[in-house]
Structure 1
């Protein structure tokens, strides 16, 4: 009996208090994080100096470490950077003419100019993509939608965006469950590409059926919660009020971005 009372008290406090993950980076207001990361991405694109761009990329790693997401972020972000580099090196060697030939492969001349161009484009794309990857790694979509609703976004628009993104996650989780079930029954699901395709075909039917069933369940839930009522909605989870220091950080970053844009327009930076 005492244990039940403790559990009820725990969940009562959990849902009546503000959502808190115990990490200052993850607990930042989603719109503040979006502002900061967007400004860093634009700064990296506007300033073509490789040292500045590389510094911003390193800042992403530091922020990810502070937000306890270093491992997941580093794996994805490093893979994206390598993919960009390999792809752009090949493309720019084919499209950029240069006089400084480094080496030749079967008559295909690899130039220093093409490599420089590929590195420059890779850094720009790496800086921009890093902001997007890190933001979504540190921010739950439902928290972002909640913040946007607090700023006046329609709850219908908010739900459509949230449901669309959540559907991708749900389909991935469901497909993994079905594949595990197939594997438990002795169906071969790993091997070359033909084996994987044959294993994927039986998964599609239950996957689509589960998606349709999930859509119906969501519609019933929305109706039960009076989703279409035109009045202020309540929320099961609420974010903490935005501290002043977070606003100061966003303002300082925006000032830096405005200054760089002004210098770029006047031609003082290349």
Structure 2
């Protein structure tokens, strides 16, 4: 399998942000001009939130070969076989002061930055995307668009900052075990629903004594399988 040229990398990013109004975004960058064979920092309009100041981020006086991916430019082989280890020559970005050899070799895995595993990237997390508000188009599970960066010690091709669709998976501290126990022992009084913030259903259960036991039994099953969750759409812990 071989890596496709940089056009696919740009398409991947542009698809994720096609709904944004790029004309209203201001840029404050002190990076070099983008080229597809460098570990760039995305001064392109395709990545409006990927701002970085290499003079502030990159340390002074360290050995050049110890600099992270955001501080160096490398000549990547764009026709390498995906997933293979490659050797490339790198140099510090302009305005980055380092000691030792200014041109040095680095080993990298042949892939674009957006193809890195989650363990090798850092992404912004959202606490506003609710699991109980599914989308009405495929895939139905709610996702949000996050800005992600390749981690400091990972070298990859293309833009080190990119957009990624991430499933909603945040938590507000509600425990599944607590909700289930409350449903089993105090479900007839609606305590389980009150605990999850579903106070309307809680009042209904309280006034009907758990639907004469039927509602209580149904809730035990629904909570046990995870169908009923916290009111805000967050996950159990």
- TM-score bin (small chain): under 0.3
Higher helix fraction: Structure 1 or Structure 2? 1
Structure 2-normalised TM-score?
0.22
Higher strand fraction: Structure 1 or Structure 2? 2
Greater RCO, CA 8 A, separation 6+: 1
Structure 1-normalised TM-score?
0.20
